[in-house]
Amino acid sequence: MLELRGVTKRFSGIPAVDNVSFTAHAGVVTGYLGPNGSGKSTTIKMITGLLEPSEGSILYNGTPIEQDLIAHKMRLGYVPEESQLYPHLTGAEFLEMVGQLRALDEKHLREKIDGLLHLFLLYDDRYVAMSSYSKGMRQKILLAAALLHNPEILLLDEPFTGLDINSALVLRNLIQELARRGKVILFSTHELDIVERICSHVVILHKGRLAADDSIEHLRVLMSLPKLEDIFAQLAVEQDTEKVTGEIVELIEL
């Protein structure tokens, strides 16, 4: 399991993540929610080791990850929020590079790459530079790169961005299947209906602090609200959406 204990991250003294503690268990898909700027991506970057916490610790199976960061990276698969890829490489070349950087066996690597490209319907475009890829195609490459080494932990930051319906369905089923196989999956998204369908546990962040850390079922009972959208709105949304909508319309009609 992946555990965050009192994790804080400050940038120039201002906390982006403030004393956040939660646990993502193996076999469970944990949703990680929050409005823009709540600290979700910062938390995920700390879990990947890209950022260092100002306070607190991140543990995997009871061991702080900084004791052996290399081992942690070896078991981690990460899909970033922004699909930043090297535009001059083709999809196949990028996956090959990732596999080589992870020191995967060359023979199996080739097999995995071809297989994943077929399954993600990218095989025909494997020779095309990623500068020509659509948003969805890039997202699929990122997913393939994250899965190539059969990670124990999967961090998905807005993985459904740009995916067509077919691919989104595949990904949804894939996440559930991977959870059943004992992976730790932390899944961050704004799409609450997907969270409701595939996550059994949610963590809600608001202004860098933990607002909720519970199963969806339990939250419904606690807050007496039937839908996750309503729960989220109560915990993390500050704007009066109807008022804002009205003001926007008035402004553009000036």
Partner 1 sequence: MGDSRARRQFRVLYRNFLAQIVDTELIATHGDPSRLLAQIGALLISISIILAIEILPQYRKATAAQIRLGAWGDQEFLIGITIAVIGVFTVFAWDSIFPSRHDTLVLASLPIRQNTISRAKLAATGTGLAVCLIAINGVIGLAYPFAAGGVRTFFAYWTTVTAAGLWIFCSLVALQGLAALTLTYRRFLKVSNALQVASFFAILAVFFLTPGPLDLDVSHGIPDAARLLPSFWFLGLFQTLNASAQPTFAPLASRALATLIAAVSTAALSYAIAQYQVTRRIVEEPDIVPADRAHPPSRVFPWVVRRATANWKPLDRAILLFIARTLTRSRLHRNLMAVFGGLGLAISITYAKALLYGNSQMYALARRYGFQTPHWYEPNTPLMAVGFILLILAVLGARVVFSLPLAVRANWIFRITDMQSPAAYFAALRKSVLTLIALPVWLVVAIFYLSVWGGPEALGHMLVLFCIGLIAVDLALSGFRKMPFACSYLPGASNLRIRLPIYGTVFLAAVDIGTRMERNAFESAARSMLLASALVALLSYARRRWNKLASWQLEQLQFDARPITDVAPLDLRGDGAYGRNQRYLDVLDTPPEPSLRQRAWRFARKTAIATACLCVGGFVYEQISELRNPLPPRQGRSIDIGGRSLNYSCVGQGSPAVIFENGSGGAGMNWTGLQREVAQYTRACWYDRAGQGWSDAAPFPHPASAIADDLHRLLGAAPIAPPYVLAGLSSGGICVRVYAKRYPPDVAGMVLIDSAHVDEDDSITPPGGGYIPYFPQGLSVLAQILRPIGALRLIMPAGALSPFETRTFAESLKEEMVYESHVEARAVRSLGDIPLIVLTAGRHRVNPPESPVEAREQLARENKWIEAQKQLARLSTHAQQRVFPEAQHNLLADRPQEVLKAVVDVVSAVRASSHPGSATN
Q: Which of residues 121-180 bind partner 1 (CB under 8 A)?
A: 124-125, 127-129, 132-134, 145
94-106 core/surface letters (b: 16 or more CB in 10 A; e: else):
bbbebbeeeebee
CA distances from residue 214 to 64, 166, 203, 222 in whole angstroms, order as listed = 23, 30, 7, 10
Q: How crowded is the C-beta side of 238, counted as CA atoms within 13 Å?
A: 7
CB within 8 Å of 42: residues ≥ 6 apart: 9, 16, 17, 51
Count of residues that bind partner 1 according to CB under 8 A: 48
Interface residue with partner 1, options 61, 63, 67, 215 (CB under 8 A)? 67
Q: Which stretch binds partner 1 (CB under 8 A): 24-32, 98-106, 167-175, 232-240?
A: 98-106
Interface residue with partner 1, options 21, 54, 176, 200 (CB under 8 A)? 54
The two structure tokens encoding residue 96: 């090959």
Site for partner 1 contains 82 (CB under 8 A): yes
**SS3 of 39, please?**
coil
Taking residues 177 to 196 in sequence order and writing x for each that binds partner 1 by CB under 8 A, - otherwise, the string is --------------------
Site for partner 1 contains 5 (CB under 8 A): no
CA distances from residue 239 to 10, 100, 253 in whole angstroms, order as listed = 25, 47, 22
Interface contacts to partner 1, rule CB under 8 A: 10-12, 48-50, 52, 54-55, 64, 66-67, 69-70, 73-74, 76, 78, 80, 82, 84-90, 93-94, 96-104, 106, 124-125, 127-129, 132-134, 145
